[in-house]
Every structure is written in structure tokens, then in C-alpha cells.
Amino acid sequence: MDNTQINDASDQRQERLLTTLERLLELPAVDVNDTIQQAVQLITEVLDADKVDAFFHDTSTDTLVARGTSDTPMGRRQKAIGLDRMPLANGGRMVEVFLTGNSFIIAAASRIYRFHPR
């Protein structure tokens, strides 16, 4: 791949990301859960991700709850086995990110025990 091809690929990716951002900003805020689900799905598609979640803190149970999970095989499996709820007491990367505010990105999170400590 020469520099022109690399630049063209980068420009195309930037355009896709910008288009997705514009689509996210256009989502209706009538029903919060529907809007979150639509946002998660848009992000999943543009990033070509296996799974994207939007977790919220449920103070009544001190648990992170996925209110938006991508409609993918991995997302459906996550819900089926109960990984869409993560008690803060169990720890793990998700809890660490929530508690510290420090981001964490990994390519193969499903293979790391600290990500889902169950």
C-alpha cells in the first residue's frame, strides 16, 4: 500500500466516523432506552465491533447495568448468560473504568479474566 492509498483509507474512515457522529446527534430523545440502543448499534457498525455496551450505574443494587447492548451474536450471548449486569463488588475492568473515570480499550476483552471476573 502506498501513501496515497493509506491517506485515502484514512480519509474514508474519518468520513464514516463523522457521518456516524452526525447520525448519533440526530437520534430522537423521546425514549431513552431506544435512543441508547440505536446509538450502541450505530457505534457497533462503524467500528465493526463484536460488541458495544452502554452501562449505567443502578444505585439501588450498586451494579453496572447494560441499558444498550449491540445486536450481535456476542451481545445476545452476554445477555443470555447474565453479563449485562456487573455488581461493583465483583471488581474487574468495567468497574475500574466506572470508579476511576480512566478509559480502557482492548481488542479481545472476552479473553481477559479481569474484564469479566466471574
The DSSP call for residue 8 is H
Angle between helices 32-47 and 3-25 (to 10 degrees): 170
Q: What is the pLDDT of residue 107?
A: 67
Q: What is the pLDDT of residue 111?
A: 61
Ordered per-residue pLDDT tens for the chain, 118 residues: 677 767 777 788 888 888 888 888 888 878 888 899 999 999 998 888 888 999 999 999 999 999 999 999 988 998 899 889 999 999 988 899 999 999 877 666 556 554 555 5
Hey, what's the cell of 37? Answer: 440502543
Question: What pTM does this model have?
Answer: 0.71
Torsion sign (Cα): 89, 94, 96, 98? negative
| Domain tally, the chain | 1
- 116 domain-assigned: no
Q: What is the pLDDT of residue 40?
A: 92
Hey, what's the cell of 94? Answer: 468495567
Taking the CA atoms of residue 116, residue 42, residue 37 and residue 66 in that order, the dihedral angle to the nearest 10 degrees is: 10
- 117 domain-assigned: no
Residue carrying C-alpha cell 483509507: 9
Q: What is the pLDDT of residue 94?
A: 85
Q: What is the pLDDT of residue 105?
A: 72
Q: What is the pLDDT of residue 57?
A: 96
Cα 12 from chain centre: 22
Domain hosting 37: range is 3-111
Distance CA 17, CA 30 (A): 24
